[in-house]
Chain A
Amino acid sequence: MSLLEVNNLTVEFGDGDNPFRAVDQVGYSVEKGEIVGIVGESGSGKSVSSLSIMGLIEYPGKVKADTLKFEGQDLLAMSENKRRAITGAEIAMIFQEPMSSLNPCYTVEYQISEALKIHQSGDKKWRRQRVIELLDQVGIPDPESRLKTYPHQLSGGMSQRVMIAMAIACDPKLLIADEPTTALDVTIQAQIVDLLLDLQKQKNMGLVLITHDLALVAEAAHRVIVMYAGQVVETGPAEQIFSKPKHPYTQALLRSLPESSLGKDRLDALPGVVPGAFDRPIGCLLNPRCPYATERCQKEQPTMQGEGVRQVRCFTPLDEAGRPSA
Chain B
Amino acid sequence: MSDTIMKAAALDSEQPANQEQESVLSVNGVKKHYHVKAGMFKPDATVKALDGVSFSLAKGKTLAVVGESGCGKSTLARVLTMIETPTAGELCFDGKDILSLGKDAAKALRQKIQIIFQNPYGSLNPRKKVGTILEEPLVINSDMSKAERKQKALAMLAKVGLRPEHYDRYPHMFSGGQRQRIAIARGLMLDPKVVVADEPVSALDVSVQAQVLNLMMDLQEEMGLSYIFISHDLSVVEHIADEVMVMYLGKAVEYASCEELFANPKHPYTQALLSSTPRLDPAHRREKIKLEGELPSPLNPPQGCAFHARCRYANDRCHKEQPALVRETNAQVACFAREEGRIA
Which residues of A line the B interface, CB within 8 A? 41-42, 155-158, 185-191, 193-194, 212-216, 218-219, 242, 252-254, 256-262, 265-271, 273-274
Q: Is the CB of A273 within 8 A of B280?
A: no
Question: Can you list 14 A-B contacts with CB-CB less than 8 angstroms, sorted by A residue number?
Answer: A186-B68, A186-B277, A190-B276, A212-B206, A215-B235, A215-B279, A218-B279, A219-B278, A258-B213, A265-B217, A267-B210, A268-B210, A269-B214, A273-B205
List chain A residues, Cβ under 8 A from B240: 258
Q: Are B278 and A187 closer than 8 Å at their CB atoms?
A: no
Contacting residues, chain B, for A190 (C-beta < 8 A): 275-276, 288, 290-291
Contact of A266 with B214 at beta-carbon distance under 8 Å, contacts A186-B273, A187-B272, A259-B284 already known: yes
> Nearest Cβ distance between residue A258 and chain B, in whole angstroms?
4
Q: How far is the CB of B58 from chain A (nearest CB, A)?
A: 19
Chain A neighbourhood of B281, CB < 8 A? 259
Q: Does B208 contact A (CB under 8 A)?
A: yes
Q: Report the Cα distance A242→B279, complex, angstroms.
A: 11
Q: Are A257 and B206 in contact (CB under 8 A)?
A: yes
- Check: B319 CB closer than 8 A to any chain A CB: no
The chain B residue sitting closest to A267, CB to CB, is B210
Is B278 in contact with A215, judged by CB distance below 8 angstroms?
Answer: yes
**Chain A residues near B284 (CB-CB < 8 A):** 259
Q: How far apart are B149's CB and chain A's nearest CB, in angstroms?
A: 29
A257–B235 touching, CB < 8 Å: yes
B185-196 interface code vs A (CB 8 A; 1 in, 0 out): 000000000000
With a CB–CB cut-off of 8 A, which chain A residues contact B278?
A: 193, 213, 215-216, 218-219
In the complex, are the beta carbons of A270 and B210 less than 8 A apart?
A: yes
Partner of B207 from A216, A265, A270 at Cβ < 8 Å? A270
Chain B positions within 8 Å of A191 at CB level: 290-291
Residues in chain B near residue A187, CB distance under 8 A: 68, 272-273, 276, 291
B217 adjacent to A259 (CB under 8 Å): no
| CA distance in complex: A252, B276 (Å) | 25
Known A41-B207, A271-B211: A219·B235 in contact at CB below 8 Å: no
Q: Which residue of B lies closest to A263 (CB)?
A: B239
Complex Cα distance, B79 from A80, in Å, reads 56
**In the bound complex, what is the Cα–Cα distance between A11 and B208 (angstroms)?**
26
Q: Kindly identify which residue among A41, A194, A242 contacts B206, using a CB–CB cutoff of 8 Å.
A: A41
Tell whether, in the assembled complex, residue B205 and residue A274 are in contact, meaning their CB atoms are under 8 Å apart: yes
- Residue B309 CB within 8 A of the other chain: no
Q: Is the CB of B234 within 8 A of A256?
A: no
* B209-A256 in contact (CB<8A): yes
A41: B residues at CB distance < 8 A: 205-208
**Assembled-state Cα–Cα distance A212/B214 (Å):** 20
Q: In the complex, what residues of B have CB within 8 A of residue A256's CB?
A: 206-207, 209-210
Determine which residue in B214, B240, B284 has the highest number of CB atoms from chain A within 10 A of its CB, and name it.
Answer: B214
In the assembled complex, B232 has its CB within 8 A of some CB on chain A: yes
Instruction: Contact check, B234 vs A186: say whether CB atoms are below 8 A apart.
Output: yes
Q: B269-296 interface mask toward A, CB cutoff 8 Å, 1 = contact, 0 = none?
A: 0001101111111001100101100110
Does B123 touch A at the CB level, under 8 Å?
no
B280 and A218 form a contact (CB under 8 A): yes
Residue of B nearest to A42 (CB): B205
**B177, B211, B232, most chain A CB atoms within 10 A:** B211
Minimum CB–CB distance for A156 against chain B, Å: 8
With known contacts A185-B69, A259-B284, A268-B210, A273–B175 Cβ distance under 8 A? yes
Contact between chains at B280 and A257 (CB < 8 Å): yes
Smallest beta-carbon distance A268→chain B, Å:
7
Which residues of A are found within 8 Å of B242, using beta-carbon distances?
Answer: none
B236 interface residue per 8 A CB criterion: yes
Please tell me if B238 contacts chain A, counting CB pairs below 8 Å: yes
Cβ of B277 to closest chain A Cβ, rounded Å: 6
In the assembled complex, the CB of A89 is this many whole angstroms from the nearest CB of chain B, namely: 31
Q: Which residue of A lies closest to B269 (CB)?
A: A187
Task: State whether A219 touches B69 (Cβ < 8 A).
Answer: no
**Once bound together, how far apart are the Cα atoms of A269 and B216, in whole Å?**
13
B214 touches A214 (CB 8 A): no
Q: Are B276 and A258 in contact (CB under 8 A)?
A: no
B176 — which chain A residues lie within 8 A by C-beta? 42
B207 touches A258 (CB 8 A): no
Give which listed residue, A242, A254, A258, A270, contacts B238 with CB less than 8 A.
Answer: A258
Which residues on A sit within 8 Å (CB–CB) of B217? 265-266
